[in-house]
Chains A and B, each alone.
Chain A
């Protein structure tokens, strides 16, 4: 079974550029989550969707971050403009109903 697929696996870009991270959840899952992992703050929830609708975006750090889920099989997390402090590993996870979340392997983002 295909798990949660994230792309790209690594992204290096210069400060000020737009960054788009992509996620394909497991087919049939109705929840999708975006997390960020840093040394300072650990793994923190940014936003999550239920049936493609954003439910809680209180973890999104600021207006430079936005997330969309246009359909059940695709989501994006966008940072515009990017800053060096956005450097982190970004994880996408999905789940079905009340079941535990399944994580992708993450995107390692470096902003120079």
Chain B
């Protein structure tokens, strides 16, 4: 039973355009959400997070949006760069403001083309 779902296994975007990665969750107890980026043969790297008390968090080119009623979050990357090509995982935690006991989605592979 996948509690965190990333329904798009892959996404291709042209350099300079916006990349939008989506994530849905089913467990209403989730209270804190994170995005991780993963390059081949490396571990996931933390990118950005959002608490359920917010609906938007921005960090440079990366913005995460949370729609609690729809149980949906998205990651926007603007503008997309070739170095952003990686697998992106969303993750959720049931405890506010902490990143223990994360449940991960299956990942979306982003390719940014020239």
Mark A residues whose CB is within 8 Å of B.
4, 31, 33, 42-45, 48, 50, 55-56, 91, 93, 95, 97-106
Contact = CB atoms under 8 A, between A and B. Distances in A.
A95 B42 contact: no
Contacts of A103: 36, 43-45
B101 A56 contact: yes
Interface in B84-114: 89, 97-107
B45 A45 contact: no
B104 A104 contact: no
Given A33-B102, A105-B43, 13 more contacts: A42-B106, A42-B107, A43-B104, A56-B101, A98-B100, A99-B99, A100-B34, A100-B99, A101-B99, A103-B36, A103-B45, A105-B41, A106-B42
Contacts, number: 51
13 contacts: A4-B43, A33-B102, A42-B106, A43-B44, A45-B102, A91-B44, A93-B43, A98-B100, A100-B34, A103-B36, A103-B44, A105-B41, A106-B41
A42 B36 CA distance: 14
Chain A, interface SS category: strand
Nearest to B46: A100
Interface in B74-91: 89
Contacts of A56: 101
Contacts of A106: 41-43
Nearest to B39: A105
Given A43-B44, A103-B44, A98 B104 contact: no
Contacts of B106: 42
B49 interface: yes
A98 B44 contact: no
Contact of B46 (A4, A50, A101): A101
